[in-house]
Every structure is written in structure tokens, then in C-alpha cells.
Structure 1
Amino acid sequence: MLSSTTLHDPALAARLKRRRSRKLISAAIGVLLAVAGVGTWLATRTHIVDLGNEQQLSESGLLQQWKDGAVLVMIRHAERCDSAPGPCLDDPTGITVAGSEAAGRVGQGLRQLGLAGADVYSSPKLRTRQTSHFLLGQDAATQDWLETCDKQFADEALARKRSGHNLVLVTHNGCIDHFARQQRVAGGERESGYASALFVSVNGEGKARILGRMNEPDWQRVLASSGK
């Protein structure tokens, strides 16, 4: 608010007006820079596509990448017995009966894609070993690093991807989260549901690109519609 002195001093009033204008312009520029910064940050994030959508599955290139043996897929173990109301399969540190059935359905989907020549490893935890058993109909080889779930997980996984051979890893949400972090996936998209699968394309130089995620209920419907 201008004082009576300022009102009678046109030069002072003009200077105050210019000062306010500069402050408003500076504030507007600050807001624009902040918005641009957020936009740039969002643009650099990797978004996980829902492969349960037929169109997104087709556009992802997963089916061809799988035929080429260029895919790394990380599957979270099925429903834990110690955090679900349903009956346990047997040991309370393992998975539920419903979880074993879900793992069996995912296994059918994997067999539709084709497991010939694929390398399959499981975390040594009981819940992952049980899950891999129902996925494959037999036990998978276990590796300790698949339960460590630290920042080295992504490098460990990519180091085991052989050219021309798909790699199937039965592991834990924390491990998949570490991999997604390295691929710059936003926090709200990193959570993996029970028996869900995160598919990653790995090129000849070992560079990874996330293709998308398929949740357990979508496997049979989507693969049937795609002609697999």
C-alpha cells in the first residue's frame, strides 16, 4: 500500500512499481523452472507397462524377444502362508494352497511361451522353492544371491543372462524392486504382486530394457488372444 508521500512522488512510485514487477517476473520464472524440472524428471522415469493388456503386450515386443532368447523374467514368489488367511501348503514359512495353484497357472503360461533352453534359478527360501516347483513341475536350482535383495542384485542377474537363452528368476519383491530402481522406475510402480512377472529385454551388450509386467490372473487370457 502506497503512503501519501509516495503518491506525491511519481519517481518513487515508479521505482516501487518496477521493483514489484521484477519480483513478480522472478517468481513466475522460478515457478516455470520448477515445473520444467519436474517434467524433465518424469520424462526420464521408466514406466512399467501392463502386459495383461493385449495391445501393450503386442507393442512391447515380448513375444519376439522371447523367441530370440533375449528375455530376463523375474517372478515373485506366490502368496505367503504367514501373511494370508488361506490354508498353508504345508510348512508355515512357505506358500498357501491358493498360491501353489497360482504358481501352476503361471507355469502353464511360461510353457506356452516356451522354456526350451531357458535357465531357471530360484532363491533358496522355502516360499520361492515351492513356487518354482509349481511353476516347472520340478525343483529349480537355487542361488543365494536371489534372496539377498541388495543394490548388487541387478548386476548379478544380468551377469547370468546368456545370449540366446531366456533367464527365469524366482525371487522376492525386494530384489525386483532393486532391479526396477536401477532402471529408474518410479516408486509407485515398483511393487510386484504375488506370482507376478517383470519381463526385461537384454541386448547383446548386456543392456536391459523393461518390457512390462504380467500379473498372475492375466497369463492364460492374454497368451490365448495373442495366438501363443
Structure 2
Amino acid sequence: MTFKSWSIRKKFAGLLSTLSLHRRKALLLLPMGMVVFLGVWLFQAPAIADLSEENREQVPVLLSQWDKGEVIVLLRHLERCDRGDAPCLAGTSGITARSVAGGDALGDDFYQLGLQKSDIYNSPLTRTAQTENLVFDDLGADRKWLYQCKENMLDDAVQSKKPGRNLILVTHSSCISRFEAALGYASNTPDYGTALFFSNDPVSRKLQALGFLHKEDWKRALGI
């Protein structure tokens, strides 16, 4: 065998060895990538579900817990006026005039659900105060922590919850996000007038989400 043919065979063998090494590395990396993907998927924060759709089985739980006075509700204010071109109800820092009809309907829904065992607090900002007045006929009380919401949003809510009484909090999307994050839920900005319902799990005794309702879905979900 000539030196030239021996050199060619050596280079070819080296190429095969390199390809085999890359293939082995690829085989090792593939399962690792799958493990990372599965880990991200498994540990991704859960989203709060819609009580009018995929989470309808929680409606009887909500109604039962509500009758016992064991529910915390976070209600986002109605449509704010300073981010659109709709006429304002009263002042640009408040809600839109077209929010009134939806607010009246939402108030009827809450009264049908029952407010005898409920305490109502609202952020003192104009848009939340107007929402509380429209939906609950000014039965609520101002709480600064419902707009100055920081890491203690969840603690403030739990400490304000009285045994045997539901707690309704009229607040802002940013405060709702902090509350959700503190409980380990993924945060999605709720629509104006959306209510999110929470109650203690009967087994773990930890606060958990029962689901949310858009303001137009109450009758379809709860039958009230």
C-alpha cells in the first residue's frame, strides 16, 4: 500500500470517528433537552380557569363555600376612562359612562348570590371607588392597600377576611397579579369587571382559586 492510499484511509477513519463522536453527543443531548422541556412543562405555574367553561365543576363548590362565608373575591374595576375615547362617567380618572349598564348587571348578580355574609373593601382611587358605588351601592370601605399593593397583598387580604364572612375586594389588575403570583398561579390581566374567586381547600386548608367569571357570564355559569 502506498503512502498516499494509507493517508487517505487514515483521514477517512478519522472522519468516521468524528461523526461517531458527534452522534454520541447528540444522543446524550436529546434526552437532556427532553428532560428540561418536561421540567418546564410540569412546573409551569397553573392558570386560573373560567367558571363558565372549563371549570364549571367548581361552581357547586363556590356556591357552597359562599353560603358558609368562606370566599375571597377579587373584582377588577370597570373600564377606566383615561385609556380610551369613550365618554367618562365623571372625570377622566374614573370609569367610562358605557360601563354603567354592565356595572348595574354585575350588582344584580352579586345581590342574587347574596351579600348578607360579605364585607366589601375597595381601593380609594376614583375608578375603583366608582365601581364599588355602582356595583355595591356604596356599601364598601376604602383600603389603601388595595392600590398600594406590594408583596404583602395576599397577607393583607387574608388578615382582613373574617370567619364566616365572604370578602370582596374591588381593586386593580396589578394587585390581582400580585395576589395570583403569591399563590403560585400564572397571571393574566383580567378584563374589566372580571371577578376571581378563592377559597380554602378542605384538605390542605390552603387558599386556592376556584375560578373566574367575566361580568357577562354570571347567569350562564351560576344560573342566577
TM-score by length of 2: 0.86
Distance of 1:117 and 1:30 partners within structure 2:
53
Sequence identity (%): 33
Does residue 197 of structure 2 align to residue 199 of structure 1? yes
Distance of 1:90 and 1:20 partners within structure 2:
69
Per-residue Cα deviation, 1:124-160 (whole angstroms, up to 9, x for no partner): 1111111011111234111111111212111111111
CA RMSD of aligned residues (A): 2.5
Larger radius of gyration: 2
Distance of 1:4 and 1:121 partners within structure 2:
88
Per-residue deviation, 1:6 = 6.8
Per-residue deviation, 1:72 = 0.2
Distance of 1:174 and 1:162 partners within structure 2:
24
CA contact (8 A) 1:118 1:168 kept: yes
User: What's 2:55 paired with?
Assistant: 56
Per-residue Cα deviation, 1:109-136 (whole angstroms, up to 9, x for no partner): 1111111121110111111111011111
Distance of 1:216 and 1:115 partners within structure 2:
17
Residues 1-16 of structure 1 aligned to structure 2 (within 5 Å): 5=7, 7-8=9-10, 15-16=17-18
Distance of 2:6 and 2:63 partners within structure 1:
78
TM-score by length of 1: 0.85
User: What's 2:90 paired with?
Assistant: 90
Moved more, 85-94 or 210-219: 85-94
User: What's 1:78 paired with?
Assistant: 78
Match for 2:43: what amino acid? Answer: W
Match for 2:206: what amino acid? Answer: K
Does residue 214 of structure 2 align to residue 212 of structure 1? no
Distance of 2:64 and 2:205 partners within structure 1:
18
Residues 70-219 of structure 1 aligned to structure 2 (within 5 Å): 70-187=70-187, 190-202=188-200, 207-219=206-218
Q: Structure 1 residues 11 and 156 mapped into 2: Cα distance closer, same or farther (>3 Å)?
A: same
Please, which runs of 5 or more residues in structure 2 have no aligned partner? none
Q: Structure 1 residues 67 and 7 mapped into 2: Cα distance closer, same or farther (>3 Å)?
A: farther
Paired residues, what number?
A: 218
User: What's 1:30 paired with?
Assistant: 32
Moved more, 199-208 or 161-170: 199-208
Per-residue Cα deviation, 1:155-208 (whole angstroms, up to 9, x for no partner): 111111122111000011110010111122224xx2111111011113588621
